[in-house]
Amino acid sequence: MALTQVINKGIGAGNTVTGEGSATTSLQQGLSKVWASSNQASLIDSFNVASTTDNQSADTTYTYTNAMANAGYAAGSCSVGPSSGTQAGTTSYNSVAAGSIRVVTFDESKNANGRFDTAYQAVTISGDLA
């Protein structure tokens, strides 16, 4: 039903779709504006990501192709340990800007400063594009 509504209406700023029940959501507001998966040194796959920068161990900056309207967007991330199948690290946002986000992965049990490179990191951004 929802897909039929989108096709019939066309995609635009004011369109809403009906979910599983009777609740509706704004199609434009509900889409992820940026997402990426990386091994911290390079992108594996992405949407609206121009590049990554490996700043230092466990410290990666994702630069967007199209900037967000401001730095007040929502970000989420996760990671998998230094080798596949090991403990996941905790991610923290070192800096958030309209055109990029800097993500640090750490686990205090690994070493003194807690930072460690992960085998896999994923980041997703929701909010308004500029």
| Block residue for tokens 């989420």 | 76
Give the pLDDT mean for 68-83.
85
Q: Could you give the percent of the chain with pLDDT greater than 90?
A: 34
pTM: 0.76
DSSP 1: -
Q: How many CB atoms within 10 Å of residue 35? A: 17
Question: Per the structure block, which two tokens stand in for 2?
Answer: 């929802």
**What is the arithmetic mean of pLDDT over 7-21?**
60
